[in-house]
C-alpha cells in the first residue's frame, strides 16, 4: 500500500466517501493482505492456474484426501509429493483427473491446459536408481507448465551420453542435475554448460555415502561455477526453483 | 562442427581445394576446439570483456602476480578472490587500475566500462560479521557488470529492516542471502519473495555452528521453496550464479 | 535437618528422653531422608496431586501396567509418555479414567480437578508433522495443571499466522516452540516475544536434517536471545520445564 | 494498534481534527512502530535503563568504539561481550565508567544504580577452567540488575561442595550450570533442585570432547527434568535467559 | 615352549628317543601351539572349565547350533551372546543344561560347579531400559565364576540409591557402570569409589543420543579418574574385563 | 584414431575411394566411437568374453530380468551383484546356466570356459560375519577369470592362521583384506606381505562401528604401506580392482 | 562413620562426656567428612604419601604456582600434567625437588621414597610420535609408586618387537597400549596377552584420523576381549587406572 | 624355515653334528628371523638399494638428523617426507647428496643410479593447490626408481587437458589421481582409463570440504570401477603403492 493510495483512502474518509467501518476493515486487513499475499506468493493457492502443492510425507491418507477435497474447489492444478498408491486410490474416487506417477510417488491433478514455456529445463541424471528423485523434478516442473527435456543415466559410466547431448543441454535455460554416491556429475555439467545448474544429491548408495552425505558434500564443494545445491532427495525443491528461473 | 561444415571440408579435400595436411590438422583439432570452447565457456578467458577470475587462496604472491601479468595481455576485467594486501602491493606496480577491497579481500582490475544491467541483484545479509562473504558476493557480481543492491544487517535481531524493504527486494531478479549461525534468513526471504534465492552459509560463529555446519544444514532443509545453497563462505560462487541468472 | 533440630535430638539423648538406639536409627536415616526428599523433588511421587510420570519407551506393556497399578494407590495424576494403544487397552481395564492421546502417544489418568493456572503457556509449532511432539508438550503441561494455548502450523510458509497472534503470544509467561527441518521458528519467536522461549527440535524431515540435527544446531545457534533448547523430540521435557517456569 | 484506536484516528480524520498528512505519517509508521517495538523488545536499546549489548567477536576495535560512542548518548547500561583489553583501552578514553572483566572478556559501562532483584540467580560451575564462560553469565546477569550467587568448582571431583550448598541453591529462582567435558553437572543439579536449570556446555577440554560436543550432547540427553541447553560457551545467552526468568 | 622343554626335545632326538619325523611335526606345530595357546588365551576353548564364548549376532541358528554341538565335546561352560529364543529352542534339544536369559538374550550352558570368587564385581546401572546390556555383563561375569552384586536403576533420578549403597559398592574389586543418554553415572561412581570403573555406554535413548554417541563421549571425557570405556552396548566385553581384573 | 589412419581416410576421400557421405558418417562417429570405446573400457560389454556386470541394488526384479535378457544376446559372462533369490528364480527360467551365491547374493552366468590366470589373488577376511562381502570379492574375481585363494576367519582372535599362511599369501599377486569393527587386519597384512593390499571395510558390527565408519577410518589411517581402501561393503569394487592388478 | 562409632558418640553425649555443642559440630560435619573423604578418595590430597595431581592445561602459571605452593605444605608427592617449561622455571624457585619431563610435559615433585611395587605395569606404544602421551602414562604410574616397563615403537611396522617381548609383557599385571592412526595395536596385544589392556588413542596423525577419532573408534570396536579405552591423549587417566589395577 | 631345512637341523642334532645349545639358539631365533624378515619386507632397510623412508612429521630435527646419520651407513637411498628446510640445512652438512623439494617438503638422498622402469606411473592432479601432495607422490615414486609422468591441473575447469592426454595416460601401468574439494577427478579417470587408479583426497579447500572429508567420501563412493583410495594428503602412500603395482 503506497503513500498515494494511503492518502486517497484517508481523503475518502475525510470527504465522507468512505465509511469509518470500511476504513477500519481496510486497515485491519492491511497487514493480513500483505501477509496473505506472501502466503499466496509462497503457496500460490489463490492465483488461478497456479499449482497447489501438498508435501505428502508424514500425512495420513485421510489428511491428504481432506486437503485435496478442499483444493478441488479452486481451478488450480494440484500436486501431492511423497505420496502412495493408497492415497491415489482414495483421490481418484473424488476426481478421475488424478494421475499417479509410481516412480516419483507423486499424484497430480491437472485442470488447466498445459501452456508450454518458450524456454525449457534440462533434467540430467547419473543413474537409473536416482529416478524417483529425477521424476519428482520432472513432475514438479511440468505441473508448473514448464517444458522439460530428460537426459537420464549419463553418469560417469556413460558420460559420453552427456557429451553427445552437451550442445542440446546448453540450449536449456536452467539445468537440474540429479546424482547420488560421489555426486560428481554437477561439476562436469557446470564445467561444460554456461547455464545455472541446480544440483540434487540423492540418498541412493551404500557405505560411505552415509545417506546422501557424500553426494551433498561433493556438490557443495564443486569446483565448477554456477552450481547450487538443494536438500538430499529434494526433487520438488529443484523442480520448483528451476521453474522459477525458467520463467524469469 | 555441424554436418554441413563437415561435408564442406570433405568436399574441399575431395576437390583438392584443401590439402590433406590441413585436413589432418583440422580434424586433429576437432576435439581440441570443442574442448577449448568448453574451456572458454568455463574460464571465459578469451571472450572479450568477460572477467578472468583467480582463486587466490593457497597461491603464493609470486604465482598470483604471474597469473595477473599474463591476464593483463587481454582486455578482460580481472578478479582475484581470497587475496591479501601484500598481493595488492605487488599488483599495483603492474597497473594502477587495481582496486583492493579490504573487507572482501578481493583485488579487481576493471578495463571495460561498467555496463549496468537492466535487472538487479539483491544481496541480503544477516549480520555485520558476515560482511567479508557478503562483499565477495557484491564485488563478484559487479565485475560481471551487474547492478547490485545491498540490504545488510537484516537478521533476526533486525528483521523489520527486511520487512521494510521486502517490496524493494521483490523487484530484484535474484536474491543472494548471506547468513551464519542458524542460517534462518533464507527461509524467511524465500517465504516472502517470489524470486530465486541463493543462500550462502558463513562460518562466522562459535560453538554448535561447527565451522558453518549449522547454517549449511539449516539452509539445505529450509521449508521455503525457491532456495538453493552454495558452499560455506563461497561468496564468489553465489555472486557468479546470481550474475548468470540475472542475465538470462 | 537444621541445627536447632539437631540440638534438640542430642538434648533428648542427653536427657535420656531418647534411647541411643533411636538416635542411631535417626542419624543413620539422616542421609536417607535428605535423599528421599531429593527423590520426592525429582519424582514428586509423594506430594499429593503432583503427577507421576512414566517414560514408556523401551518398557513392556506388562512393566507399564505394573507401574501404573502401583501408582494408582496414590491420589496423584499419572502420565505415561511414548506409549501405545496396546498399553492403553490394558490400563483402562484398571481404571476408566485413563485417556489416550493418539497423536502424542500419551496415556493420562487425572484424579484431581484441573486447577487452571493464572498465567498460561503458549505452544507454537511450525508444521502439522510436528504434532506428535507438540501434543506431548501440551499433554504434559496440562497434567501439571497449566493453562495452554496452541498456535499450530505457523512455520515459515504461514509466518503471518504467527504475526497475527504475536500480541496474544506475548501474553504467555513462557513459550514453547516446536520445529523440525531448519528449526528457524524459535529465532523468529525469540526475536519478537520478550518471554523465555523453550525450543524443541523434531526429527521430522529428510535428507540433510539427519534425524533432527539440522533443527537442533539451528536452535542452539539462534541469534535471538532468551532461547534455550531441549533434546530432539523431547516434548515432555519442554512441557515440564514450561510448567516449572509458569509456576514460579 | 487495536481496533478502537484505529476507529478513533479515522474519526479524527473524518471530523477534520487530524490532517491527512498526519494520518499518512501515522499509518506509514504503523508497521515501523510495530517492528521498532519488536526491535526494542529485542535490543532494548530505547527503554531507559535497559542494557545495550554488543557481541564483540569479529568486530574491529574501531567498530566497537563507534558503537559504544553511539550508545553513550542514551542513559542505558552497556555490555560488550567477547572483547579485548585493547578495546577497553580505547573505550576508557571515552568514559571512565568502563570496567573490563579480564576473565569474562567483557566490558561493562554502568550508568544506572544497581537495583538488586528480590530473587536471585545461582550460577554453578564444574571447574576453574570454565570460568571465562561462567563469568560471562555473571556479568550479563548483573548488568541486567540481577542478584547472582556463585557456586564455583563443584564438579564431580568436588561434588560435596554442591551437596553442602544444595539447600542454598534451591533458594535461587533459576540455576545456570556451566560445565565442559562430560557435562554431567546439570543432570545432578536438575535431579536435586526443583528450579529451572539452564545448562551451558563449554568447549574446555581435549580429545573426545570435540570442541564442546561431548558436553553439549550430554546436557541435551540429560535424564533430569527441568534442564534446557544453550550454545557451547554461550555465557551471555544463559545470563540473559536467567535474567528473563528471574524477573517474570 | 620354554627353553627347558626345548632342550628336552632336542635331547630326545639326539638320544634317538624321538624320531626325526616326530620332531619335525612337533616343530612345525611350534608356532601353532604357541598361537593355539594364544588362541586359548583368547578363546579359552581348551582350558578345562574355562567358558567358550560365541558372539551370536550375524550368525544363523544353524551355525550357532553347529558351534555349540562342537563345543559340547569339551567340559567347558558355554556362553552364546546376542542370540534368540529360536536358537535356544534348537540348543535345548542337544542339552537340557541350556539356560536362556530373555533380557540379556544370552544362552549359557554350565557344566562345572560355580566356584564363587573371593572378591566380587559390582554392576551398577542407570535405568531399567539399560537392562539388556546390564544383564549381559552379569551373565558373562557369572559364567566366568565371579560373584556379582547388582545395583540397578540408580541413575540421576534415583541417585540416593547409589549413595545408600556407596559403601557396599566400595567393597567390590571392580565396578561396571552401565548407562545411556548423558552417561553421567560413571563420573559420579568414579568420583566416589576408589576402584577401577568400567563404563558401558548404551544405545538406549532418542534424539541427540545418536545411537549411544552422547553416552560414549560423556564417559570418555569423564572428569573422574579410574574410568575406562568399552564399546556401546558391549556388556560382554565389560563382564569379561571385570572378570579378568577381579581374578588378578 | 591416430594420425596415419586419419591421413588414410582423407586420402581415400581425395582419391574418390570413399564417398563423402561415408566420410561424414565416419567423422560424426569419431567422438562416439571414442566414447563407446570408453564405454567398452568401462562396461566391457562388447569385448567378447569380458563379463557384463549389473549392480542389482535399487533395481526391480523386472528391470534386472530385462537387462539380463538383453545381455544374454552376447557371449559374455554375466554378473549381477546385490540381488535376491527372487531375481534368481526369474533368471533361471531364461537360462539354466545361472548360479546364485546365497552368501554373496550374486547371480552369475558363465558362458565361457574358466581361463585360470597364471597369478592368483588372495582374499583374506577377519570373521565369518564378513562373508557376504568376502564372497562378493571372490565371485567377482572369478567371473573375471582369476584364480582366487581364500584365507577366511584370520582376524585378531585367530591371527595365527594368518601367520601360518603368510608365506602362502605372499605368493599372491594382490591381496584383498575384508574386515569390520576396528579394521586392523589390513595393517597387519600390509606390514607382513610385500604386495598391494586392497582393504574392504564392512558394516558388520554394532555401537561405535557406526555403519562401517570405524573400519573405514582404521584402514585409511593404516600405518602399513601398500594399503588402499574401497567403499564400505564394496566387495565388487575390490574384486574388480584385484582382477585388474592381477592381470597387469 | 560406622554404627559403632555413632553409638559411641551418642553414649558420650548421654553420659555427659561430650558437650552438645561438640556433638552438633560433629554431626554438622558428618556429611562433610563423608564427602571430604570422598574428596580424599578422589584427590587423595590428605592421605600422606599419596600424590596430589594438578591438570595444568587452561591454568595460568600464576594459578599453578599458587596450587603447588599450597600443596607443598603436605608431605605428598605432586604431579602437574600438561604444563610447560615456563611453569617449571617458576616452581623450581620454590623447590629444587621439581623435575620437568619435556616429552610428557609433566612436572613432578617427589617427597617420599619410591616404593617399588611387587607387580609391574607394561606400557606399550606404537610409534615414537606417541611419546608425549606414553611418557605421561609412565610419569603418572611412577609418581603413584608403580614399577613400569616400557615397550616402545612396537607398532605394525615393528610388530616383531612386540612378539619378541610378548612373554615379558604377559608378566605385567596390566598393560597400557598407546597408539594413534588406526589404533590397531591394542587389538593385537589384547589377543595375545591375558591381562587387562587399557588402550589410549592419540591425536597424532593427519587426514582421516580426525584428531584421534580413527584410533578411538578402532580401539572401541576392538575384536579382542579385555580391552577398554580412555579419552584421546589421556595418558594421565591410563596411568592412574593402571596404578589402581596394579595395586588391587 | 621350510620342512627340509628343519629335517636337516634335527638330523644334525641326531647325528651329533650340531650341539643342543646351538639347536636351542636356532629354534629360539626361529620366530625372530621370520619376523626380522618381515621387518625387512616392511622397512626394506637391509635390501641394498631399496630406499629407507622416514615420516618426518612430529619428529624433531635432532631425531631426523640422528635417523639419517644411521641410515647413511647403508647404501640405500633415503627419503624423508613431511620435513622442513631447517632439517635440510642440518642434513646437508652430513652429505651434499641431499636434495630438498620445497613443494613436496621432502628430502631425498640418492646413492644409487636411477634405474628407469619399463612401465611408468601417471600422476594426474586436479589443481595447482594440490601440488604439495602431488609432488610427494612423484618424489616417492622416483626414489623407488619408477618412471613418472605428470599430468597436472586437469580438474573439472580444465578437463579437456585430461581428454587431450587420455590416450597417453592409458599407457601408464597405474594412475595416481590427486584431488581436493569434490574429489570428482578419479571417477572421470576411472571411467576412461582401464588401469588401476589410486585416488588421493587432499585437505585443500574450505567450507564443506571439512578438512578433506568431501573429497574422501566422493572418492570412496566413486561409481567408476578400479578406483581405490588412500588417506587424505597421503602422497607417500599413493606413490609407494603405485611403485609396488608398477613393478609387479
Per-residue pLDDT of A49-67, as tens digits, reads: 578 888 888 788 888 888 8
Cβ partners under 8 Å of residue H69, min gap 6? H94
| Chain-chain contact of E227 with G237 (C-beta, under 8 angstroms) | yes
Evaluate whether H6 touches E10 at the Cβ level (below 8 Å): no
Q: Give the closest of D156, D163, D208 to G216, CB-based.
A: D208
Contacting chains of C (3 CB pairs or more, <8 Å) are: A, B, D, E, G
CA distance F248 to chain E (A): 36
CA distance F129 to chain E (A): 6
Q: Which of G188 and G142 is assigned the larger pLDDT?
A: G142
| Chain-chain contact of B219 with C182 (C-beta, under 8 angstroms) | yes
Q: Does G touch D (3+ CB pairs < 8 Å)? A: yes
How buried is F90 (Cβ within 10 angstroms: 0-12 exposed, 13-18 middle, 19+ buried)?
middle
Long-range contacts of B162-170 (CB under 8 A, 24+ apart): B162/B124, B162/B188, B162/B189, B162/B192, B163/D31, B163/D35, B164/D31, B164/D32, B164/D35, B166/B192, B166/B193, B168/B122, B169/B122, B169/B124, B169/B193, B170/B194, B170/B195
**Nearest alpha carbon to residue B87 among B98, B76, B78:** B98
Determine the pLDDT at residue F231. 96
Residues of E with Cβ-Cβ distance to C36 under 8 angstroms? 160
| Chain-chain contact of E24 with H16 (C-beta, under 8 angstroms) | no
Residues of E with Cβ-Cβ distance to F158 under 8 angstroms? 39
Q: Give the closest of C35, C59, C212 to E207, CB-based.
A: C212
Give the length of chain H.
248
- pLDDT, averaged per 10 consecutive residues of chain A (248 residues), comes to 64 81 60 33 43 84 86 85 95 94 94 84 88 95 94 71 80 95 88 91 88 93 90 96 94
CA distance G219 to chain D (A): 13
Give the length of chain D.
248
Sequence ranges of the domains in chain E: 31-109, 120-246
B98: left (phi over 0), alpha (psi -120 to 50) or beta: beta
Evaluate whether D216 touches D116 at the Cβ level (below 8 Å): no
For domain E120-246, give its CATH number from 1.10.3210.10, 1.10.357.10, 2.60.200.20, 3.40.50.1970: 3.40.50.1970
Q: Per the structure block, which three cell numbers stand in for D239?
A: 545470563
- Chain segment G56-112, per-residue pLDDT in tens: 887 888 888 888 888 887 778 999 999 999 999 999 999 999 999 999 999 999 988
Q: Which residue of E has its CA nearest to F211?
A: E211
Residues of A with Cβ-Cβ distance to B218 under 8 angstroms? none
Q: Any idea of the CA torsion for A166, A169, A173, A176, to the nearest 10 degrees?
A: -100
User: By mean pLDDT, which of B42-51, B110-119, E38-47 is the weakest?
Assistant: E38-47
Residues of G with Cβ-Cβ distance to D168 under 8 angstroms? none
Determine the pLDDT at residue C4. 62
CB atoms under 10 Å from CB of H108, counted, come to 20
User: By mean pLDDT, which of B5-14, C193-202, F66-75, F178-187 is the weakest?
Assistant: B5-14
- The terminus-to-terminus CA distance of chain F in angstroms comes to 24
Determine the pLDDT at residue B49. 54
Query: Where is mean pLDDT largest: G223-237, H20-34, H47-61?
Result: G223-237
Residues (pLDDT < 50) of chain C are: 1-2, 28-48
Average pLDDT over chain H reads: 83
Residues of A with Cβ-Cβ distance to H219 under 8 angstroms? 182
C-alpha span between E196 and E176 (Å, rounded): 8
| Chain-chain contact of C231 with E207 (C-beta, under 8 angstroms) | yes
Q: Does B touch F (3+ CB pairs < 8 Å)? A: yes
Q: Give the closest of A160, A204, A209 to F39, CB-based.
A: A160
Q: Per the structure block, which three cell numbers stand in for H87?
A: 632439517
Evaluate whether A246 touches A173 at the Cβ level (below 8 Å): yes
Evaluate whether E19 touches H13 at the Cβ level (below 8 Å): no
CA distance F23 to chain A (A): 19
User: By mean pLDDT, which of C201-205, F170-174, H73-77 is the weakest?
Assistant: H73-77
Q: In 3-state terms, chain E is what percent helix, strand and coil (to 5)?
A: 50, 15, 35
Contacting chains of A (3 CB pairs or more, <8 Å) are: B, C, D, F, H
| Chain-chain contact of E14 with H11 (C-beta, under 8 angstroms) | no
Determine the pLDDT at residue D62. 86
Residues of B with Cβ-Cβ distance to C182 under 8 angstroms? 182-184, 187, 217-219, 221-223
| Chain-chain contact of E220 with G240 (C-beta, under 8 angstroms) | no
Determine the pLDDT at residue F48. 46
Cβ partners under 8 Å of residue D141, min gap 6? D121, D123, D148, D176, D239, D242, D243, D246
Determine the pLDDT at residue F158. 60
Report helix, strand or coil for E206: coil
Q: Which residue of F has its CA nearest to B15?
A: F14
| Chain-chain contact of E207 with C232 (C-beta, under 8 angstroms) | yes
The answer to whether residue B1 scores a pLDDT higher than 70 is: no
Determine the pLDDT at residue G156. 61
| Chain-chain contact of H220 with A213 (C-beta, under 8 angstroms) | no
User: By mean pLDDT, which of C38-42, F79-83, H42-46, H129-133 is the weakest?
Assistant: C38-42
Evaluate whether G190 touches E190 at the Cβ level (below 8 Å): no
Model confidence at E30, in pLDDT bands (50, 70, 90)?
A: very low
The chain C residues in contact with chain A (CB within 8 A) are 128-129, 157-160, 163-164, 204, 206-210
Average pLDDT over chain B reads: 83
Report helix, strand or coil for A60: coil
Q: Does B touch C (3+ CB pairs < 8 Å)? A: yes
Q: Give the closest of B42, B230, B245 to A248, CB-based.
A: B245
Q: Give the closest of F204, F206, F208 to E216, CB-based.
A: F208
Between the CA of residue G7 and those of C11, G1, G14, what are the distances in Å? Answer: 15, 10, 10
Which strand (E) or helix (H) includes residue F173?
none
pTM (predicted TM-score): 0.84
Q: What is the 3-class SS of C202-229, one letter each residue? A: CCCCCHHHHHHHHHHHHHHCCCCCCEEE
C-alpha span between B239 and B246 (Å, rounded): 10
Determine the pLDDT at residue D39. 33
C-alpha span between B203 and B129 (Å, rounded): 10
Determine the pLDDT at residue E117. 77
The strand order across the sheet containing E52-55 reads E52-55, E78-81, E106-109, E98-101
- Chain segment H204-218, per-residue pLDDT in tens: 888 888 899 999 999
Determine the pLDDT at residue E160. 63
Cβ partners under 8 Å of residue F222, min gap 6? F186, F187, F190, F199, G156, G181, G182, G184, H231
Q: Which of A161 and H62 is assigned the larger pLDDT?
A: H62
DSSP count for chain E of H helices, then E strands: 9, 9
User: By mean pLDDT, which of C67-71, F91-95, H113-117 is the weakest?
Assistant: H113-117
Q: Which of G192 and A34 is assigned the larger pLDDT?
A: G192
Contacting chains of G (3 CB pairs or more, <8 Å) are: C, D, E, F, H
Determine the pLDDT at residue D166. 82
User: By mean pLDDT, which of A21-25, B33-37, F130-134 is the weakest?
Assistant: B33-37
| Chain-chain contact of C35 with E208 (C-beta, under 8 angstroms) | no
The answer to whether residue E44 scores a pLDDT higher than 50 is: no
Q: Which residue of A has its CA nearest to C203?
A: A58
| Chain-chain contact of A240 with B221 (C-beta, under 8 angstroms) | no
Model confidence at E49, in pLDDT bands (50, 70, 90)?
A: low
The chain F residues in contact with chain G (CB within 8 A) are 126-127, 155-157, 159, 181-184, 187-188, 190-191, 205, 207-210, 213-224
Residues E68-95, mean pLDDT to the nearest whole number? 90
C37: left (phi over 0), alpha (psi -120 to 50) or beta: alpha
Q: Which residue of B has its CA nearest to A200?
A: B228
Query: What is the complex's ipTM, to 2 decimals?
Result: 0.82
The chain F residues in contact with chain A (CB within 8 A) are 31-32, 34-36, 38-39, 42-43, 57-59, 63, 201, 203, 211-212, 216, 231-234
pLDDT tens track of chain D, all 248 residues?
Answer: 445 666 777 788 888 888 877 776 665 444 333 333 323 333 333 344 578 888 888 788 888 888 888 888 777 899 999 999 999 999 999 999 999 999 999 999 998 888 877 899 999 998 778 889 999 999 999 999 999 999 887 776 556 667 778 888 999 999 999 999 888 899 889 888 889 999 999 998 888 888 899 999 999 998 788 999 999 999 999 999 999 999 98
Amino acid at each position: 500500500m503506497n503513500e498515494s493510495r494511503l492518502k486517497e483512502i484517508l481523503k475518502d474518509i475525510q470527504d465522507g466517501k468512505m465509511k469509518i467501518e470500511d476504513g477500519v476493515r481496510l486497515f485491519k486487513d492491511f497487514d493480513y493482505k500483505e501477509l496473505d499475499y506472501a502466503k499466496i506468493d509462497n503457496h500460490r493457492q489463490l492465483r488461478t492456474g497456479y499449482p497447489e502443492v501438498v508435501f505428502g510425507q508424514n500425512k495420513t491418507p485421510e489428511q491428504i484426501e481432506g486437503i485435496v477435497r478442499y483444493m478441488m474447489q479452486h481451478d488450480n492444478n494440484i500436486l501431492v509429493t511423497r505420496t502412495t498408491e493408497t492415497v491415489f486410490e482414495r483421490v481418484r474416487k473424488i476426481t478421475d483427473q488424478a494421475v499417479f506417477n509410481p516412480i516419483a510417488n507423486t499424484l497430480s491433478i491437472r485442470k488447466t491446459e498445459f501452456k508450454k514455456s518458450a524456454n525449457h529445463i534440462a533434467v540430467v541424471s547419473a543413474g537409473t536408481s536416482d529416478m524417483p528423485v529425477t521424476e519428482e523434478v520432472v513432475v514438479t516442473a511440468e505441473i508448473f507448465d514448464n517444458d522439460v527435456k530428460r537426459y537420464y543415466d549419463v553418469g560417469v559410466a556413460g558420460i559420453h551420453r552427456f557429451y553427445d547431448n552437451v550442445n542440446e543441454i546448453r540450449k536449456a535455460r536452467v539445468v537440474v542435475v540429479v546424482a547420488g554416491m560421489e555426486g560428481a556429475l554437477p561439476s562436469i555439467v557446470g564445467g561444460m554448460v554456461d547455464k545455472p545448474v541446480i544440483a540434487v544429491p540423492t540418498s541412493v548408495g551404500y557405505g560411505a555415502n552415509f545417506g546422501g552425505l557424500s553426494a551433498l558434500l561433493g556438490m557443495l564443494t564443486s569446483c565448477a561455477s554456477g552450481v547450487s545445491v538443494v536438500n538430499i532427495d529434494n526433487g520438488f525443491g529443484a523442480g520448483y526453483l528451476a521453474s522459477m528461473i525458467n520463467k524469469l
